[in-house]
Amino acid sequence: MVYASLLANRYLASRVIPLIAVLAVALNVALVVIVVSVMTGFLDMLRSSGRTLMGDVVVTHEIVGIPDYERFLEILDETPGVHAASPLIETFGLVRMPYGRDGESRVEPVQVWAVDPRSLAEVTGFAEAVYWRAPTDDERAELDERDPRLDETFHKLDDALAINDPDVEPGMVLGIEISPFNSRTRRGTYRPTPSEAWMPLHDVTLSLVPVSSGGRIAEPREGRFRIANEFHSKVYQVDSQRVMIGLAEGQRLLRMAGGPLYDPDGERDENGRPLVIGRSPSRATTILVRGDDGLPPPELKYAVSAAYDRFLAELRDDPEAKVKPPSFVDIQTWEERLRDLIAPVEKERDLMNVLFSIIYVVSAALVLSIFWAIVHEKTRDIGILRAVGASRSGILWIFLQWGLVIGVIGACVGLGLGWLVVDNINAIHDAMGEAAPTWSVIVAGGLAAAALLATVVAAWRGSLLHGLIWSLATILLAAIAFGLSRHEGAVMWDPSVYYFDRIPSRVDLLRAGATMIGAVVFSILGAAIPAAKAADTDPVRALRYE
């Protein structure tokens, strides 16, 4: 049908209307792509943060800990599917900071992880999370001259993973949001405040409360630690609460290290001391396990449970092991472990899915109605075509082609637009978070003045339509200029509320593709349905249509 292509072409070649149609499709596609990308990014980030924070599966026996965990680690090591495992003690404590008000040190309540950094780095993203590096010579040149990193003593920053090395002073790695002496840049990185109080290489005092294997609380104990570094896990709750020390230090302070085991109620030796009846095992409260890549955490959890049962059986039969491991420990995948955090996010995802469906439907309705108006305007043309013998299917074909072209162009433009926004979403957010730059106010004001001039010219020439359009533009631009001048910045993504410290986003190609196909389908439908209706109405009425 030669005429169908000719007319589809001509309808596309007219200036304003196809532009509006493409814009409608593009904006809707962009909107959907942006919303979906942030949602996908959020869930992605959650998923990967679970792994980088705690590996895949976590074995815990809180407070008292698992005795002879070293043997358990050996068994885990031989278990297929286990990539690496790392023991740690998780507890709470108080850190007396080297800064404070009125000469008094500030005391921060913290979550303490006593870790074995080398294996922790294999299981989690700890090595990458350790934030400060000794600057290279090139970087030195770039740094502010008051930057504390320029001090030669900071070459030790790179030794952060040696915090439990007995040769090094007991070290501590702080969450980067704990001390107020790091300033966050707009790009989500940190700069040390040029100040004496910048944390690394300062000493702090940590107080912990030991609990015996019987579950009794003993005298609180204190230890001095040197801040070896700070870490940035990108999860705000963790960065603002957790400190890491060496496992050996933790065991010592918490009385969880191995040593001779006495029988308090038994016989005494000649000096009146209780007799040594064996060795007390060292303990850890938590074992983090990372599975081989691609192994689903629930399967790993199953394997780890089986490994723990073997560990139990082995120690039960071992007469040397005076302290038996607990029969029941918590074995959880990171997802189960993060339930408290994930549950609201999953609710949010459900809500997002509902919102997404609404956005999709609204977008489709918008495209349909805009196309409806555009095609409706061609009703008389359709009557004329029917009068010269065009068939209904031929007329439908014109608008199918038109809808296809608009849909494809709109979808591509929309994807590009969406991608651009998603790529720069944090920059856009940050720009909105600051007061508008003066030049933007001047530009908007200048444009408003130009529009005002155009209004005056139009009025002088007596052109009502142009006068109206330009006066509207004047009002709009003046409002924008006013708004910009008053805008003092608003932070919408508050990391303490949204769990992550940056807006996560990732363009999900599959969903983007589905959105684009949807856009094309709705464009075609949007054009074809009113065209079919017009082709169905009796041609005489279509001809009379003004």
Partner 1 sequence: MSDAPAVVATPLLEAQDVRKTYRLGAIEVPVLHGASLAVREGEWLAVMGSSGSGKSTLLHILGGLDRADRVGRNADGGEVRFRGRAIERLSNRALDRYRNREIGFVFQFYHLLPELSVVENAVLPALVGQVPLLWRSRRSEIRERAIDLLERFGLGHRLKHRPRELSGGERQRVAIARALANRPAVLLADEPTGNLDRKTGGEILDLLAEEHRRGLTIVMVTHDAGIGERADRTLWLRDGRVDGAPEI
Would you say 234 or 386 has its CB closer to partner 1? Answer: 386
Would you say 198 or 371 has its CB closer to partner 1? Answer: 371
Applying CB under 8 A, which of residues 283, 386, 480, 500 lies at the interface with partner 1?
Answer: 386
Non-local (6+) Cβ contacts of 73 within 8 A are 85, 87, 287
Stretches 60-68, 110-118, 386-394, 399-407: which one binds partner 1 (CB under 8 A)?
Answer: 386-394
Q: How far is CA 302 from CA 56, 62, 79, 80, 500, in A?
A: 12, 20, 11, 11, 30
Check residue 394 for interaction with partner 1 (CB under 8 A). yes
Check residue 19 for interaction with partner 1 (CB under 8 A). no
Would you say 2 or 465 has its CB closer to partner 1? Answer: 2
Applying CB under 8 A, which of residues 387, 427, 435, 468 lies at the interface with partner 1?
Answer: 387
Check residue 543 for interaction with partner 1 (CB under 8 A). yes
Nearest-approach distance from CB 400 to partner 1, in angstroms: 16
| Alpha-carbon span 415 to 37, nearest angstrom | 11
Would you say 357 or 391 has its CB closer to partner 1? Answer: 391
Would you say 3 or 493 has its CB closer to partner 1? Answer: 3
* Closest alpha carbon to 169 in 180, 185, 153: 153
Q: Which amino acid is at 542?
A: A
Contacting partner 1 within 83-122 (CB under 8 A): none
Backbone phi, psi, residue 533, to 5°: -65, -45
Applying CB under 8 A, which of residues 108, 116, 147, 381 lies at the interface with partner 1?
Answer: 381
Q: Are 232 and 129 in contact (CB under 8 A)?
A: yes
Applying CB under 8 A, which of residues 176, 199, 390, 409 lies at the interface with partner 1?
Answer: 390
Nearest-approach distance from CB 536 to partner 1, in angstroms: 11
Would you say 108 or 381 has its CB closer to partner 1? Answer: 381
Would you say 189 or 391 has its CB closer to partner 1? Answer: 391
Applying CB under 8 A, which of residues 14, 136, 185, 327 lies at the interface with partner 1?
Answer: 14
| Alpha-carbon span 262 to 71, nearest angstrom | 22
Nearest-approach distance from CB 524 to partner 1, in angstroms: 20
Per-residue three-class SS string for 504-542: CCCCCHHHHHHHHHHHHHHHHHHHHHHHHHHHHCCHHHH
Stretches 143-151, 387-395, 403-411, 435-443: which one binds partner 1 (CB under 8 A)?
Answer: 387-395
Fill in the DSSP letter of residue 414: H
Tokens of 467: 């006068």
Check residue 1 for interaction with partner 1 (CB under 8 A). yes
Per-residue exposure over 370-396, b if at least 16 CB sit within 10 Å of its own CB, e if not: bbbebbeebbebbbebbeeebeeebbb
Check residue 13 for interaction with partner 1 (CB under 8 A). yes
| Alpha-carbon span 340 to 342, nearest angstrom | 6
Nearest-approach distance from CB 402 to partner 1, in angstroms: 12
Nearest-approach distance from CB 392 to partner 1, in angstroms: 7
Check residue 391 for interaction with partner 1 (CB under 8 A). yes
Give the contact letters, 503-542, x = binds to partner 1 (CB under 8 A), - = no: -----------------------------------xxx--
> Which residues, listed in sequence order, are joined to residue 174 by a DSSP beta bridge?
230, 243
Applying CB under 8 A, which of residues 94, 127, 323, 384 lies at the interface with partner 1?
Answer: 384
Nearest-approach distance from CB 1 to partner 1, in angstroms: 7
Q: Which amino acid is at 168?
A: V
Applying CB under 8 A, which of residues 16, 141, 388, 510 lies at the interface with partner 1?
Answer: 388
Count of residues of this chain found to bind partner 1 when the rule CB under 8 A is applied: 26
Pairing of strands 330-333, 57-60: antiparallel
Applying CB under 8 A, which of residues 349, 380, 506, 533 lies at the interface with partner 1?
Answer: 380
* Closest alpha carbon to 146 in 194, 196, 192: 194
Nearest-approach distance from CB 24 to partner 1, in angstroms: 20
Would you say 1 or 248 has its CB closer to partner 1? Answer: 1
Would you say 6 or 361 has its CB closer to partner 1? Answer: 6
| Alpha-carbon span 322 to 345, nearest angstrom | 45
Stated as kind and residue range, the H or E segment containing 316 is helix 297-316
Question: Would you state the torsion angle of the CA atoms of residues 457, 463, 469, 471, taken in this order, to the nearest 10 degrees?
Answer: 50
| Alpha-carbon span 207 to 155, nearest angstrom | 28
Check residue 385 for interaction with partner 1 (CB under 8 A). yes
Q: Are 66 and 326 in contact (CB under 8 A)?
A: yes
Q: Are 335 and 493 in contact (CB under 8 A)?
A: no
Q: Taking the chain, what is the end-to-end CA distance rounded to the nearest angstrom?
A: 27
Q: Which residue ranges make up the site for partner 1 (CB under 8 A)?
A: 1-3, 6-7, 10-11, 13-14, 380-381, 383-392, 394, 538-540, 543
